[in-house]
Amino acid sequence: MIRAWLLAAGLALLAGAYGWGRMDGARLAHAAQAATVAAAQAATIRAAEVASRKEAERLALQAERDALARQLEDEAREDPDATGGL
């Protein structure tokens, strides 16, 4: 009878250790995944900031180019020697 109790206690201890290990492993896996996701989000935010800065620079250069083109066209219209091919 004592052997049955010892066997039951051993099985209960084994099941408890397995359950605790499984839960602890799952907790650690979730923590590692959360850290990976946080790092990926930080990298994405940095990349978005760089892309935004580059786009702002591109738009500024485009506006400058358009202003220079308008200035060149205005100067060409005001030139008395420019006949426009007529």
Q: How does pLDDT run across 56-82, given as a tens digit for each residue?
A: 999 999 999 999 999 999 888 887 776
pLDDT at 79: 79
Q: Is residue 82 within 8 Å of 76, Cβ to Cβ? A: yes
Helices assigned H by DSSP within 1-86: 2-78
Is the C-alpha dihedral spanning 73, 77, 83, 86 positive or negative? positive
What is the average pLDDT value for the chain, to the nearest integer?
92
Residues 45-65, buried b or exposed e (16+ Cβ, 10 A)? eeeeeeeeeeeeeeeeeeeee
Query: What is the pLDDT confidence band of residue 2, given thresholds at 50, 70 and 90?
Result: confident
pLDDT at 85 over 60: no
